[in-house]
Structure 1
Amino acid sequence: MQEIHIPPACSVRPANLSDDDALGELDRATWSPLHAVMPRPQPPYSPFFDDRHLPEDLLVAEAENEEGETGIAGYIRVVSPTPLPCNSHVRQIQGLAVADWARGRGVARTLLRAACAAARDGGANRMTLRVLGHNAPARALYEAEGFVVEGVLRGEFFLEGRYVDDVLMGRSLAP
């Protein structure tokens, strides 16, 4: 019987500016109409980080890839949904991606849990997100992690020839 190599679990850390190229490549490689409402990125590519996408808004997962090297396995982006002081207790997930080679290893779940813990540690008591209605795998993950559907914008997007719902989900960050 052939020995199976099972890589160790991933570690999570804050993103930094030097992750720009790797995160940009990951973002382009994981683009899919299952979760993206923007068109597929085309060259010339813009930097991953810009005025609206800052390193301090991201957590990065690192894991051992097929070659035995440690690489970026995924990221999650969490921001305040508005600049309003009365909304400062809420954080919103505005991006989650996992490299193909890292799928099925718990990377998305690890990132989601780390993001909720970091938001709670930062004073938030609620986490929200938006997910496309046809993205069953993401919806199942979010539900398994305590998120509930709080609203549905029916037919909010027209993607690849059909109307797709925008599902609003949220959860408490109370321990």
Structure 2
Amino acid sequence: MGEVTVRRAVEADEAALLAIELTAWDASSGFPSMTAPDRTAFFSERSGPDAHLVAELDGEVVGYVRLQDKYPFPEGAGVLSVNGLAVAGSARGRGIGSILLTAAGDEAKRRGARKITLFVHGTNTVARRLYERHGYVVEGTLPREFVIDGQYVDTHVLARHLD
């Protein structure tokens, strides 16, 4: 495996990140509506380049983690949320998800966060194991939170305390 580096996203990453986004998810891990083939933008007003860290393998963008403030009010300061983590299919199994989670933890600490939270589908056991290896614990379960392909899907709330 070549060298994996992590850096902040820039506007020029949009096409590569969109390509990952449109192919990284299936019904067990994401929302089919978010991978519609007519989608043309990855970044949005709420989720621009500054919310993303990207992983590069030998200079090619192969993954991202979206790390954002969870709450817009001062009482929730210090709680960040991973609102997406994806690795290109061609780069899976090389530890890139772990590298991105480590980078997200480092970034959260740099920003003075005390906690990182995330949601994971109950059907996404691979991701849940990854998060648990990085110190995330289940704080709750939202039963039947979504209907995907006609089936109810539970969502787990996981968190990692940084202090």
TM-score range (shorter-chain normalised) is: over 0.9
- Contact map agreement 2:26 2:32 (CA 8 A) in 1: no
Superposed CA RMSD: 1.2
* Alignment partners' CA distance in 2, 1:41 and 1:150: 28
Identity level (%)? 39
Q: Which amino acid aligns with 2:78?
A: H
1:8 matched to 2:5? no
AA of the residue aligned to 1:123: G
Counterpart CA distance in 2 for 1:55 and 1:45 is 17
Pick the aligned partner of 1:84 from 64, 73, 78: 73
Q: Which amino acid aligns with 1:53?
A: S
1:36 and 2:30 matched? yes
Q: Where does the alignment leave 5 or more consecutive residues of structure 2 unmatched?
A: none
Deviation at 1:40, TM superposition (A): 5.1
Look up the SS of the partner of 1:74 in the other structure. Answer: strand
State the alpha-carbon separation in 2 of the partners of residues 143 and 26 from structure 1.
Answer: 23
| Residue in 2 that maps onto 1:24 | 18
* Number of equivalenced pairs: 163
Whether 1:105 and 2:94 are equivalent positions in the alignment is: yes
> Deviation at 1:166?
0.8
Deviation at 1:34, TM superposition (A): 1.6
Deviations 1:47-69 (A, max 9, x none): 111202110000000003xxxxx
**Residue in structure 2 matched with residue 118 of structure 1 by the alignment:** 107
Which runs of no fewer than 5 residues in structure 1 stay unpaired?
Answer: 1-6, 65-69
Give the structure with the larger helix fraction.
2
**Which of structure 1's runs of 4+ aligned residues deviate more than 6 A?**
none
TM-score, normalised by the number of residues in structure 1? 0.89
1:35 positional shift: 1.6
The normalised TM-score by structure 2 is 0.95
1:72 pairs with one of 52, 61, 80: 61
1:161 shift after superposition: 2.2
